[in-house]
């Protein structure tokens, strides 16, 4: 019995290491090869096919130099102000997010709130790690794998490449992926021609694109966009 348990433990470790090697090779290849799709996109495509019996999809890969500086600055200002400096993870932001979530859950349990708004402290690199190769489930194991892939991305890819892949694959509405598709969908211009305000409005949508696409001109989006515009001048691009 002990021998069987030992063999099982060894098998689990070997499988875990093999999975990490697989992920590392996938990430390393992205230094030269553009990813054709992400795990999140594939799950969304399947959902749309099941629910609607068709897949409405818009996406167009655009090299970083043709994305335009406004969308790059706006997304960094909104999502990850320290992107150019950190090593992939902002531990202070994760701790602050955890504390805020704990307080929100406490208010919910005490009956002082109807819902608990869960916030994250993920960097752009972490968001890319999650969307590229992982499922959307919220478990400690998946979060640990996300951190491991985040370290791989930072080790094998430049900041410029990480931002390029992120901006070309992130969701901006149902079936709308990447900055170029979003710019065409919402403003009928190419990504490199987005004004600072237009880019900021797109950046506001990123935490909840399916929700904000229903009201892209809401007062919240407009107000938050102005805040992002004010911060864009101080953004350091990689």
How many Cα atoms within 13 Å fall on the side-chain side of residue 227?
Answer: 10
Separation of alpha carbons 129 and 138, rounded Å: 14
Separation of alpha carbons 181 and 96, rounded Å: 33
Separation of alpha carbons 175 and 50, rounded Å: 14
- pTM, to two decimals: 0.86
CA nearest neighbour of 168 among 159, 182, 179, 157: 179
Q: Percentage of the chain with pLDDT > 90?
A: 56
DSSP 135: -
Separation of alpha carbons 160 and 1, rounded Å: 52
How sure is the predictor about 144, in pLDDT bands with cuts at 50, 70 and 90? Answer: confident
Once rounded to an integer, what is the mean pLDDT over residues 203-230? 91
Separation of alpha carbons 155 and 225, rounded Å: 33
Number of helices (H), then strands (E), belonging to the chain: the values are 11, 0
Q: Is the pLDDT of residue 90 over 80?
A: no
Separation of alpha carbons 34 and 45, rounded Å: 19
Q: Cβ-count burial of 132 within 10 angstroms (0-12 exposed, 13-18 middle, 19+ buried)?
A: buried
Separation of alpha carbons 30 and 64, rounded Å: 14
- CB contact at 8 A, 83 and 128: no
Once rounded to an integer, what is the mean pLDDT over residues 53-80? 93
Once rounded to an integer, what is the mean pLDDT over residues 191-200? 96
- CB contact at 8 A, 171 and 177: yes
Separation of alpha carbons 119 and 101, rounded Å: 7
The pLDDT of residue 70 is 97
Once rounded to an integer, what is the mean pLDDT over residues 204-212? 91
Who's near 19: CB < 8 A, 6+ residues apart?
A: none
* Backbone phi, psi, residue 66, to 5°: -105, 5
How sure is the predictor about 115, in pLDDT bands with cuts at 50, 70 and 90? Answer: very low
The pLDDT of residue 54 is 86
- CA dihedral (150, 23, 127, 185) positive or negative: positive
């Amino acid at each position: 019995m002990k021998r069987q348990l030992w063999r099982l433990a060894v098998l689990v470790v070997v499988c875990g290491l093999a999975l990490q090697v697989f992920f590392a090779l996938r990430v390393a290849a992205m230094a030269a090869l553009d990813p054709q799709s992400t795990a999140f996109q594939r799950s969304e495509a399947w959902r749309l096919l099941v629910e609607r019996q068709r897949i409405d999809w818009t996406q167009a890969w655009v090299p970083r130099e043709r994305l335009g500086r406004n969308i790059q600055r706006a997304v960094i200002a909104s999502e990850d102000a320290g992107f150019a400096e950190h090593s992939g993870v902002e531990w202070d932001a994760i701790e602050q997010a955890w504390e805020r979530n704990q307080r929100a859950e406490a208010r919910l349990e005490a009956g002082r709130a109807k819902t608990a708004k869960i916030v994250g402290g993920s960097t752009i690199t972490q968001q890319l790690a999650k969307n590229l190769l992982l499922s959307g489930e919220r478990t400690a194991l998946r979060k640990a794998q996300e951190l491991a892939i985040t370290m791989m991305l930072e080790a094998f890819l430049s900041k410029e490449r990480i931002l390029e892949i992120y901006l070309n694959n992130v969701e901006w509405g149902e079936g709308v992926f990447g900055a170029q598709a979003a710019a065409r969908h919402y403003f009928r211009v190419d990504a490199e021609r987005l004004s600072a305000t237009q880019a900021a409005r797109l950046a506001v949508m990123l935490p909840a694109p399916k929700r904000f696409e229903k009201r892209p001109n809401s007062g919240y989006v407009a107000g938050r966009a102005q805040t992002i515009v004010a911060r864009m001048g101080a953004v350091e691009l990689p």
